[in-house]
Every structure is written in C-alpha cells, then in structure tokens.
C-alpha cells in the first residue's frame, strides 16, 4: 500500500528492505535507510555488505562465471547486480522452470525469463542468512519512533480539519456554501501536491497520479518556465495562496462571498493559458488539469448562487486582505527551510565523498606526531593481535561518552577481523581514587585472563548505571599487586605526555584522531 507521505525507496534501499523482510530479521525501515545512506560508498554493494554486518547478518558476496552458472547451485533469497541503469540491484526470490522471480524499487515479486536475467546480470551476487542474534538493538523502539515520525503529518492534517469543522457556522450552512468550502479545500490539497511534486518528484503517490495516462508527465510541465510567474514564484504557489486565502475568507467571513465570486471569475483566463500550454507541448499534468476544473466548477457554483453582484461590504476588505496575506507570509517563512531540506541529501553525499576519502584522511592523520604504546603500559588488548589497524582508546571508567565509545568498538570487534583495540586509562593514580581502582583491576584481569573475559568485564562495568566498584569487582575477582600501581603511574605519565585533555581520546595506529573526524567516520575507511 502506498503511503503518500512516505518517499519512494531508492534501488538499494528497497532491495535491502525486501531482503530483511523476507529473512524475517528485526530491522526497522528507518534504520535501513539511515545505515545505507550514512555509508560513504552508498549505494554500492560494499554499503549493503557493511550494513548487514552492522545488523549481525552473515553473508557472502560472489562473482560467478556465467559459463559455470547453474540455478540449482544458488540459495535464495539473494541480491543480484545488473548492468542496467548504470548498475542496479534486484532481490531474487527464486529461479524455477526458466522463470526468475525478483523485486526492485519499482516492481514487487515480478517474473522475467531466465535468459533475460542472464543477459542483464553481471555475475555478482550477495547471499545472506538469518542467525539467532541477527537484527538491531532496540528494534521495538525504532519501530515506534518510525511510526510516530510517519504519523506527524497525518495528525497535523486531522487536527487542521478538526479546527475547520469546529469553525463552520452550521446554522447558516447551505448547499452552495458547503460546496464552495469543499472546492476550496480540494484546491488547497491539489496545490500542496503540486508543490510537493515540484520539490520532490520521487514521491510515489504523486508519481502514480501523474502516470494515469501515456502522455502524462507532471515534471515536464512543473519544471518548465511556463509553470513560473517569476524566477522565484510559481503558479502552484499562486494557486495555494488563492485557494487558502479564499477558503479562510469563506470560513471566517461569509459576507465576502460576492467579492470572492469576482476573484473566481478573474482566475478563469489562467485556465486557457494552462490547458493551451499542455496542448502545445502534447503533454498533460493530471493535477494541473484538475485545478483548472475546480476553477470552472467554483465559478459555476458562484453563478448558481447569484453571487456575481456588487453588494460587497467595505468592512470585509481588511479581513479579506488579511486572509490572503496570511498564507503568503507563512509560505514565505517556511519555503527556504523546505528548499534547504531538499538540498541536504545530495549535499551530504557530496561532502561524504570528500570527508571519507581514505587518502586524504591518512594524509591528515599521519601529518601529526605519532605516539607509540609500549608494552610496559600494559594496555588492555582486544580483537585481532595481528591486525594492522590498531585503535587506542584513552578512557575514564566513569565517563559516559567513554561507555558509548566502548560499546561501538565492541560491536566492531564482533564483526571485523582486521582490528585490534588497545585501552589505556587516565587516572589520578591515588589509592582513594575510584578511577584508579577500576583501572588497576581491569589491567590485572588482562594479565591473568583471556581477552574475551576481559571484554565481558569491561562491558559489565560500562553497563552499570550507578558504577558500583565493589559489586562489580566481586563478579570479576582478581589479585592486585604492586605492579599495577606502577602500570597506572606509567599510563598517567603517558597521558600527560600525549596531552590527553578529554576522554575518550582515540588514536589510530598511534596518531590522534583529529577534527572533523569522529570514531564512527573511520569504520568504512581504508586505513
């Protein structure tokens, strides 16, 4: 079912969404969109692969020689890469009897001939499967958040309609008056849809309206010069001002009906201009034509109601002016924000190409002093001990952001074999200092236990809300000797030498992570 207030999914978004849905993995729609769009290589196969890693979905990517292709060797569902449209993806649900069942952003569980599939497919595929721990954390909260996000606009519309219904004087209501209110309201809705189409031509509801005929192309008309009064004002905006202003006049000042009748008559020449232009270019805009029909319909209602008289009270003129100026003022205020919002996504993608350039990042990173972490510091070591990429985290056991950063790094270590994490503590190195107690305890654990046990101990510590050392220490007992005092002293001296002024401070291969980069920015980089 199409949600008119929900943007159409792009190719890779739709394919991943259908894959997650078919595998019955608990990942919300909003999380899928966020994870994919935040990836610097979106919309590539790498972006899909890294996103699946983030949701703990095991998968493998293959390139198959078509000469060795055999549908019986494939497992479904799988994502296939096509050459069409500059490279696109499709979710393949199954292949049987020479038919391929697939889904894309525009087609859902359609079939094509297997021969056609082989012509378009470039041999690249990704197969994924569900495991017990696959999915996202806080899935229910993310779903609820998504529902609330989608419900904001419908709720606002219902609230406005309720206000309108409460404002109508039902004692003086007649058929003509009710009909005019309905026409004005319909005109407002159509004007909003036209503005939405001009700002977001990918809206699925509008696309379906504009594709009712073979020669319908709303964009060809709405993006043309003929759709503009000036370079900064479109006819769609004028329509919104007209229908909204006249609706408010009818609703709040019924005595203005005769003046509105003459305004309606003044609008009719525009209908010839609009229809004439569409005939000229042999293209039709369903929404535009419907607006022209409403203009003639309201003029007819005014005529049947005998409203074309000059019995216009002068006292209503200021009120009418205010009713028309109000939507103009509101639109002038919100239009810049809507335009900027529409420009945000492509701009972010362009900035990502610059920010996530691995060569540039490595050049900036290595252009500063390098701090070695000698073995005598007894840093906590987690992950792959032979990894070339070493992330060092200087942490404070009682630091909230440190807990968040530790959780992020712990999740990385679960899905990546190319990382090693070293943890150093910044403490006062005093017996009564709570930070010192935790640092010495964890360091002692790292010397007597394996990395998995130490990782569990750290996770347990950071998950505590009240940070009770005695309770935590009883769960992970260890003997603390004099060596630990020397270790915390050396770590304290190292932190002073490295000019650690806040926690967490992150080092990548010995180089301090600098602004504007954050830890989450480097997870997809080639370091």
CATH number at residue 194: 1.20.1440
Residue 238 CA to residue 234 CA, distance in Å, equals 7
Of 396 and 358, the one with more pLDDT? 396
- Give residue 196's pLDDT: 81
Shared domain check, 108 and 62: yes
Shared domain check, 194 and 336: yes
Following DSSP, what letter does each residue of 425-473 receive, concatenated?
A: E-----TT-HHHHHHHHHHHHHHHS-HHHHHHHHHHHHH-SS--HHHHH
User: Over 70: is that where the pLDDT of 515 sits?
Assistant: yes
The count of other CB atoms within 10 Å of the CB of residue 248 is: 21
Tell whether 418 is covered by a domain: yes
User: Over 60: is that where the pLDDT of 98 sits?
Assistant: yes
User: Over 50: is that where the pLDDT of 201 sits?
Assistant: yes
Shared domain check, 23 and 109: yes
Shared domain check, 183 and 102: no
| CATH number of the domain residue 407 falls in | 3.40.30.10
Beta bridge pairs of residue 382 = 421
Shared domain check, 376 and 252: no
Shared domain check, 492 and 442: yes
Mean pLDDT, rounded, for 88-105: 92
Per-residue confidence at 357, pLDDT binned at 50, 70, 90? confident
- Give residue 2's pLDDT: 43
Pairing, β 233-234 against β 228-230:
antiparallel
Tell whether 149 is covered by a domain: no
CA 131 remoteness from chain centre:
26
Per-residue confidence at 110, pLDDT binned at 50, 70, 90? very high
Of 312 and 352, the one with more pLDDT? 312
How far is the CA of 17 from the CAs of 58, 80, 237, 445, in angstroms? 16, 14, 36, 43
Shared domain check, 132 and 34: yes
Rounded to the nearest integer, the mean pLDDT of the chain is 86
Domain termination residue (choose one: 113, 136, 159):
136
Beta bridge pairs of residue 397 = none
- Give residue 504's pLDDT: 92
Shared domain check, 335 and 479: no
For the record, the structure tokens of 437 come out as: 């107690």
* 154-165: pLDDT as tens digits: 788 788 778 777
Print the SS3 string covering 143-172. HHHHHHHHHHHHHHHHHHHHHHHHHCCHHH
User: Which residue, among 16, 76, 17, 25, has the nearest Cα to 47 in the 3D structure?
Assistant: 16
Tell whether 226 is covered by a domain: yes
Give the count of domains, the chain.
Answer: 3
Tell whether 152 is covered by a domain: no
- Give residue 212's pLDDT: 53
- Give residue 92's pLDDT: 94
Per-residue confidence at 207, pLDDT binned at 50, 70, 90? low
Tell whether 109 is covered by a domain: yes
Task: Give the range of the structural domain holding residue 306, as residue numbers without chain letter.
Answer: 168-340
Shared domain check, 173 and 40: no
For the record, the structure tokens of 330 come out as: 């509101």
Shared domain check, 325 and 382: no
Tell whether 399 is covered by a domain: yes
- Give residue 1's pLDDT: 43
Shared domain check, 172 and 131: no
User: Over 80: is that where the pLDDT of 209 sits?
Assistant: no
Shared domain check, 442 and 330: no
Beta bridge pairs of residue 79 = 91, 126
Per-residue confidence at 6, pLDDT binned at 50, 70, 90? low
Write out the H or E segment, with its range, that includes residue 390.
strand 389-395
User: Over 90: is that where the pLDDT of 300 sits?
Assistant: yes
User: Over 80: is that where the pLDDT of 202 sits?
Assistant: no
| CATH number of the domain residue 54 falls in | 3.90.70.10
* 215-260: pLDDT as tens digits: 566 777 777 888 888 888 888 999 999 999 999 998 888 888 899 9
Tell whether 351 is covered by a domain: no
Domain termination residue (choose one: 291, 324, 340):
340
Tell whether 211 is covered by a domain: yes
């Amino acid at each position: 079912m199409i949600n008119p207030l929900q943007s159409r999914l792009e190719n890779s978004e739709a394919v991943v969404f259908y894959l997650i849905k078919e595998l019955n993995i608990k990942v919300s729609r909003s999380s899928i969109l966020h994870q994919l769009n935040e990836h610097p290589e979106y919309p590539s196969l790498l972006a899909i692969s890294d996103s699946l890693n983030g949701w703990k979905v095991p998968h493998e990517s293959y390139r198959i020689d078509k000469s060795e292709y055999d549908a019986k060797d494939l497992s479904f569902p799988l994502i296939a890469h096509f050459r069409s449209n500059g490279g696109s993806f499709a979710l393949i649900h199954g292949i049987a009897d020479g038919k391929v069942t697939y889904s894309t952003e525009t087609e859902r569980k359609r079939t094509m001939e297997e021969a056609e599939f082989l012509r378009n497919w470039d041999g690249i595929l990704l197969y994924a499967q569900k495991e017990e721990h696959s999915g996202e954390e806080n899935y229910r909260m993310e779903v609820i958040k998504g529902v609330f996000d989608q419900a904001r606009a419908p709720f606002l519309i219902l609230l406005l309609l309720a206000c309108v219904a409460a404002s109508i004087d039902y004692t003086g209501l007649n058929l003509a008056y009710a009909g005019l209110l309905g026409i004005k309201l319909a005109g407002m809705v159509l004007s909003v849809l036209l503005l939405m189409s001009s700002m977001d031509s990918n809206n699925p509801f509008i696309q379906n309206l504009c594709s009712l005929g073979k020669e319908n192309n709303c964009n060809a008309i709405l993006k043309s010069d003929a759709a503009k009064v000036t370079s900064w004002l479109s006819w769609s905006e004028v329509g919104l001002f007209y229908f909204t202003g006249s609706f408010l006049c009818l609703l709040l000042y019924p005595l203005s009906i005769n003046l509105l009748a003459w305004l309606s008559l003044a609008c009719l020449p525009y209908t010839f201009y609009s229809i004439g232009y569409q005939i000229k270019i042999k293209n039709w805009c369903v929404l535009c034509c419907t607006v022209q029909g409403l203009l003639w319909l309201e003029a007819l209602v005014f005529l049947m109601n005998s409203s074309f008289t000059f019995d216009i009270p002068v006292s209503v003129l200021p009120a009418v002016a205010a009713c028309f100026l109000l939507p103009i003022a509101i639109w002038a205020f919100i239009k810049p924000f809507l335009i900027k919002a529409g420009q945000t996504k492509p701009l972010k993608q362009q900035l990502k190409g610059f920010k996530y350039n691995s060569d540039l990042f490595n050049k900036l990173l290595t252009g500063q002093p390098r701090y070695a972490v000698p073995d005598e510091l007894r840093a906590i070591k987690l992950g792959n001990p032979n990894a070339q990429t070493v992330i060092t985290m200087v942490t404070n056991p009682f630091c909230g952001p440190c807990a968040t950063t530790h959780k992020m790094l712990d999740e990385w270590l679960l899905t990546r074999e190319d990382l090693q994490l070293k943890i150093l503590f910044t403490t006062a190195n005093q017996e009564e200092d709570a930070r010192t107690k935790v640092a010495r305890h964890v360091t002692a654990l790292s010397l007597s236990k394996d990395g998995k046990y130490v990782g569990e101990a750290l996770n347990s510590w950071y998950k505590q809300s009240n940070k009770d050392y005695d309770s935590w220490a009883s769960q992970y007992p260890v003997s603390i000797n004099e060596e630990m005092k020397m270790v915390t002293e050396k770590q304290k001296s190292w932190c002073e030498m490295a000019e650690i002024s806040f926690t967490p401070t992150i080092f990548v291969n010995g180089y301090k992570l600098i602004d504007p980069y954050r830890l989450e920015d480097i997870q997809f980089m080639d370091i």
